[in-house]
Chain A
Amino acid sequence: MDFVNALVLFSNFVIVPALSYGSQLALGAIGVTLVYGILRFANFAYGDLMAFGTMFAILFTWFFQSIGISLGVLPTALLAIPFAIIIAILFSLLIDKFVFSYYRIKKSPPVTLAMVSIGVMFVINAVVRIIIGPFDRIFFDGQKFIMKANEFKEMTGLNEGLAIKSTQVLTLVVTIIVASILFWFLNKTKTGKSMRAYSDNEDLALLSGISPERVVMITWIIAAILATVAGTLYGLDKSFKPFTYFNNLLPIFAAAIVGGIGNPLGAFLGGYVIAFSEIVITYAYKKFFFYLLPESLEPNSLIQLLSTDYKFAVSFSILVIVLLFRPSGIFKGRVS
């Protein structure tokens, strides 16, 4: 029984949160990695693009709520996502046309483009804060829990409860749907294949008649979709605050690099690698061992490898370890 209790405790505080957080990172990391693979620069504005998309999801949610549309038990934000995506796509294409395309045509080095993306980051940062303000926004509605800790306890008679938030399940479901469509698109359709070809060898792809404008456009569209979906899911699960979205850029980048930058599947898995290590390492195992060990060995400290304040240190250490031992990432990406 104690073993089951320990397992439930571990699922409640580590596995379930890490799965949903990992999904959010994974979607974002695919976006970063696609931009890197095809446009060939590290887009520092991506975190703010996520905030931008989420902001519109929130605005549409408010709009739907004000005219009385809701999805019942599901959050209204789901209905708002498609509209937010359209705006995010238009915005990304606009930025590409007026900012990035110039440097792409000039074949500027990646560092210049990264620096330009910092300028874009400042601009989006300002736009988001001017429109919606820098404050915490909670825009979740509908049913909050699928299973409450108490219900679980009653149901199973265990000491530990397992709480599952509906946003966590929602995150997983949406991630599975979006990721399946995306990988189907990249691997099976002609456009997807042309994108991969462009990413692998630009010159060869151009010679075989792939239109670069089209590939770039589709990349931005996918990046904007992923940013909006990942951002909205994160916002639903936790809350929306522009500054947090900027900070999320770091684990997302770490996930993309760990997975081998330029490799979408790697980035997807990298998201979970980062999320799981962050939560596994910063979790306090006191109670976990309380169930597993005999009374005489019971720990009296928290048994926390690292305090939660240092979760950046986890991303960083994984990043450094991977870069030192497998510079192309765990799942072989582009090495240039």
Chain B
Amino acid sequence: MEKAPPHGFDPIAGLLAAVLPGLGHVYSGRVKRGLLAGGGVLGLFLGGLLIGGVDAIDSEEDQYWFLGQALVGPLSFAVDAWHQGMKAHPVVNEVGEQLMDMRTGANGERIYIASDGFIAPKRNLYPGETRVMAQVEVSGTTLTLPVATPGSALGASPAMSESLSKLNEIAMLYILCAGLCNLIVFLDALMPNLHHAKDSDARKAAKTDPEPAA
């Protein structure tokens, strides 16, 4: 029976691989592998962001996709935080009912605050809207919340636009694939196969060489 190839365990390389794709391989001296693996993972990640925009990562609205996308590491969480920071609480709900009362802000801008304590979840801004921080009183407590308000009043437009249809799905798929590939890269950095070449050669030889006659 063929013996399993010996494996090493390199926690520092694993930690570096978790921080940035491919960095663990570079640290452990496998520079070409690290650069190629990192290039592949980051290429998928940036490709997804170019296809779908920052909307391709959304831990609130696409939480199941985000489970896989998070495997890219801190980059995914940073982009998600950036995206969530562009959202705001809506003024009206999906059937057009007013959720918030309009008030005039200190600088003359129009802002909307919650009227009955109900705060709708944040969403991406529509064209013509912008994000304003507003003081909202909820159950006797004053909160400072980002609220959607007409952008024309401030001469502003949304910070980003929502990607739709197949392009959004493909963009999310790119980043999900980046996460899954990075899991393989991370495991290879954490537990490198020390005798990769010898093991491969042994298997090739076992396949090609005929069994010795008994």
A and B are interacting partners: no
A residues lining the B interface (CB < 8 Å)? none
B residues lining the A interface (CB < 8 Å)? none
